[in-house]
Amino acid sequence: MHSGAPILLNEAQRLLRIEELCVLENSADQVFDEIVAIAAEFFEAPIALISIVDKHRQWFRARVGLQAQETPRDVSFCAYTILSDEPFEIPDATLDPRFKENALVTGEPGIRYYAGAPLITEDGLRLGSLCVIDTKPRPAMSAREASMLKRFTSLVMKRIVSLRLSCYVDQPSGLYNRLRLEEDMREVLSTGCDSQLVAVDMFAPQFLNDVVKALGYGFTQELVMAIRKRLEEQLPAGCRLYRISPTRFGFLLPGNAAQEHLYNAILKACAAPVHCRGNPVQMQVGMGIVSLKSEPGQEQDWMRQVVSAANDARERNLGWARYKPQCDAAQQRAFRLLASLTAAVHAPDQLRLVYQPRIDLATGACTSVEALLRWTHPTLGPVGPAEFIPLAEKTALMRPLSLWVLQHAVEQAAIWQAHGFIFRVAINVTPEDLSGSDFTDRMISLLQHYGIPPRRFELEFTEGALMHNPAEVRNQLERLRQLGMTVAIDDFGTGYSNWSYLRQLPATTVKLDQSLMRNLATDQQDQRLVQALIGLATKLDYCVVAEGIETEEIRALVSAWGCHEGQGYLIARPMEADALLDWLDAQDVPRSVEAIGLAAMGSKWL
């Protein structure tokens, strides 16, 4: 049996071009369908096909009169058609030694006559063919028929190119898109010439989303066109602008030398708002630059690198920045952590709580413990909350994390309560937690389920939470306060510190931020500030807590100024639940204020 057509010398290049141009294998196209229908009618043939000859098969981009969508390449007639630029014709396949035992001849569809013309790219690569097939032998085509077959084939090729070009165009802007930019980058790299890729990040994605919600897609499209015009006015002649994402544009520059004059000209042009329908829209521009270098055996994700640099420039307000592997590594780590957090919430051994005691500075009694979240990643090891909490707060992952902390803190509080330990447990909440009733409802339900009085729990939130739906935040805090729960304003003294506004909230406690303690022993300005904060908060009947106490000197100072409670490494580091009990037993002080009947010391804050 014949093994099929010979393989072309440029087969590897040809297959790459198929991958590039013929990516829409499974999508119907009315133009292709119309061409094969007309070809079948013109040649009065029962079967007409647009066939792409791939590595191990031929597959049909459009077909008439045939159910199969593909066949093996070794039985393909079209595999012979691509051996030449001229049409290939078999008047009677049963008489041709190459085909008389072919499964498509001896079985279905019973090919007898075949005529195909190759689909040829501009650079001479033959992708497949347009062919007509009959189940009866036929005489050879006339010159007119051969010419018509070639014209049909030319239409097919034009359509293939047209479809590919449409895949390269960003419809809202009319610019070439990321796919085309990547194609052009490959072309530049193949020449070996030095060049650089520039990405211009115009907005944070959330900002553009807000524009769409507020002003609609029509406005957004006009905005994009106005930005396109402004950017193109700054680019050198012949420099093509691409739109590579909804918020980003890109272009290629020759050479690797920094073209600061161009970067700065773009930044200056984008500094002024874009006016669209009478609305001024201020851009938030960050430009990323990466040098394109072709290194054998090393695949580089240039697009990801340049986007990383642009994000870095925008977030750090640098204007423009070259790609730095260390910054990219940090962003990749951040993405990896975010991707892992969902699994961590449901894993039995990744997340855990540790507890840091807070004491009455006058008696040394433990008044409460703050529950602090810790994460041990299965491959990265311990990940600090200062790294993963800010990442989670930018996503929908923060709510599951908060609920995890709530659940486990309440469970632990129930265990301590059963053993006679009745200090308060404090947990941190986010603006998202207080933006509705779900978190509050869940907290109340858990406390009731485990039989824990609400006065033995404390919520800590930062002043920044007040900027997110303040009326709802106040409503949720008042619900919990009415049950007897204490409410603490965390990191106080570093945020808004608007006393009149804070007085509208049902807070009972202010926790002075640990940064205020850092230079307290030597910095007189910090001393005056902290003393004033303690004095004013005390006059307003707040319980005042100093965080970050690390020396006896600082402890003595804040205590002398009237601070009620303290927390920090001098007192105790965060520890596991079992270690906390050992710590309590080792202290030459009461185990808790309430346990020895001294609740009156703090009763006005309950």
- The better pLDDT of the pair 441, 467 is held by 441
Please check whether residues 289 and 384 belong to one and the same domain: no
Please check whether residues 356 and 499 belong to one and the same domain: yes
Q: Which of 11-25, 234-248, 389-403 has the lowest mean pLDDT?
A: 11-25
Using CB atoms within 10 A of its CB, is residue 307 exposed (0-12), middle (13-18) or buried (19+)? buried
* Per-residue confidence (pLDDT) for residue 295, from 0 to 100: 65
Confidence of residue 264 (pLDDT cuts 50, 70, 90): very high
Q: Which of 50-54, 155-159, 228-232, 495-499 has the lowest mean pLDDT?
A: 495-499
**In angstroms, rounded to a whole number, what is the distance separating the alpha carbons of residues 579 and 354?**
9
The domain total for the chain is 3
* Per-residue confidence (pLDDT) for residue 198, from 0 to 100: 94
* Per-residue confidence (pLDDT) for residue 595, from 0 to 100: 43
Token pair 């708002």 is at which residue? 273
pLDDT of residue 550 exceeding 60: yes
For the domain that residue 75 is a member of, what is the CATH number?
A: 3.30.450.40
In a domain, 594, yes or no: no
* Per-residue confidence (pLDDT) for residue 500, from 0 to 100: 63
* Per-residue confidence (pLDDT) for residue 467, from 0 to 100: 63
In a domain, 593, yes or no: no
Report the range out of 114-128, 213-227, 265-279, 298-312 with the highest average pLDDT. Answer: 114-128
User: What amino acid is encoded at 214 in this protein?
Assistant: A
- The better pLDDT of the pair 497, 548 is held by 548
Q: How large a percentage of the chain has pLDDT more than 90? A: 56
The continuous run of DSSP H or E covering 116 comes out as strand 113-120
As given in the structure block, the two tokens for residue 131 are 């062919």
* Per-residue confidence (pLDDT) for residue 171, from 0 to 100: 82
Work out the average pLDDT over 521-547. 92
Identify whether the C-beta of residue 95 lies closer than 8 Å to the C-beta of residue 101. no
Please check whether residues 157 and 205 belong to one and the same domain: no
Q: What is the DSSP letter of 468?
A: S
Confidence of residue 207 (pLDDT cuts 50, 70, 90): confident
Please check whether residues 457 and 481 belong to one and the same domain: yes
Q: At what angle do helices 385-393 and 325-346 cross, to 10 degrees?
A: 80
In a domain, 474, yes or no: yes
In a domain, 181, yes or no: yes
Please check whether residues 387 and 510 belong to one and the same domain: yes
- List Cα–Cα distances, 220 to 173, 209, 235, 421, in angstroms: 11, 9, 23, 59
In a domain, 157, yes or no: yes
pLDDT of residue 107 exceeding 60: yes
Please check whether residues 189 and 250 belong to one and the same domain: yes
For the domain that residue 282 is a member of, what is the CATH number?
A: 3.30.70.270
Please check whether residues 545 and 562 belong to one and the same domain: yes
- The better pLDDT of the pair 89, 247 is held by 89
Query: How many Cα atoms occupy the beta-carbon half-sphere of 504 within 13 Å?
Result: 12
* Per-residue confidence (pLDDT) for residue 255, from 0 to 100: 86
Q: What is the pTM of this model?
A: 0.59
Please check whether residues 23 and 132 belong to one and the same domain: yes
Average pLDDT, the chain: 88
Confidence of residue 601 (pLDDT cuts 50, 70, 90): very low
Work out the average pLDDT over 174-180. 88
* Per-residue confidence (pLDDT) for residue 215, from 0 to 100: 86
* Per-residue confidence (pLDDT) for residue 350, from 0 to 100: 94
Identify whether the C-beta of residue 53 lies closer than 8 Å to the C-beta of residue 72. no
Confidence of residue 297 (pLDDT cuts 50, 70, 90): low
Please check whether residues 507 and 465 belong to one and the same domain: yes
Please check whether residues 44 and 116 belong to one and the same domain: yes
Q: How big is the chain by its Cα radius of gyration, in Å?
A: 36
> Both ends of the chain: CA-CA distance in Å?
93
Which of 168, 187, 214 terminates a domain? The answer is 168
Please check whether residues 451 and 472 belong to one and the same domain: yes
Q: Considering only CA atoms, which of 181, 194, 197, 184 is closest in space to residue 293?
A: 194
Which ranges in 107-246 belong to alpha helices (H)? Answer: 143-167, 178-191, 205-232
* Per-residue confidence (pLDDT) for residue 381, from 0 to 100: 92
Work out the average pLDDT over 567-589. 89
Which ranges in 379-503 belong to alpha helices (H)? Answer: 385-393, 398-418, 438-450, 470-482, 499-502
* Per-residue confidence (pLDDT) for residue 603, from 0 to 100: 39
Which of 128, 147, 168 terminates a domain? The answer is 168
As given in the structure block, the two tokens for residue 360 are 């009455």
Report the range out of 1-10, 172-181, 231-240, 592-601 with the highest average pLDDT. Answer: 231-240
pLDDT of residue 604 exceeding 60: no
* Per-residue confidence (pLDDT) for residue 189, from 0 to 100: 87
Please check whether residues 411 and 531 belong to one and the same domain: yes
pLDDT of residue 496 exceeding 80: no
Sheet holding 88-90, edge to edge: 70-72, 57-64, 47-53, 126-134, 113-120, 88-90
In a domain, 596, yes or no: no
Work out the average pLDDT over 174-187. 88
- Give the model confidence (pLDDT) of 319-356 as tens digits: 999 887 776 677 778 778 888 888 888 898 999 999 99
pLDDT of residue 45 exceeding 90: yes
For the domain that residue 560 is a member of, what is the CATH number?
A: 3.20.20.450
pLDDT of residue 589 exceeding 60: no
Which of 168, 192, 210 terminates a domain? The answer is 168
Confidence of residue 398 (pLDDT cuts 50, 70, 90): confident
**In angstroms, rounded to a whole number, what is the distance separating the alpha carbons of residues 571 and 357?**
8
* Per-residue confidence (pLDDT) for residue 599, from 0 to 100: 36
Q: Classify 369 as helix, strand or coil.
A: strand
Confidence of residue 421 (pLDDT cuts 50, 70, 90): confident
Q: Which domain holds residue 317?
A: 171-294+301-323
The angle subtended at Cα 225 by Cα 221 and Cα 230, nearest 5°, is: 145
In a domain, 592, yes or no: no
**In angstroms, rounded to a whole number, what is the distance separating the alpha carbons of residues 250 and 310?**
11
Work out the average pLDDT over 228-251. 92
Confidence of residue 596 (pLDDT cuts 50, 70, 90): very low
Q: What is the DSSP letter of 142?
A: P
Q: How large a percentage of the chain has pLDDT more than 70? A: 91
**In angstroms, rounded to a whole number, what is the distance separating the alpha carbons of residues 301 and 531?**
55
- The better pLDDT of the pair 401, 208 is held by 401
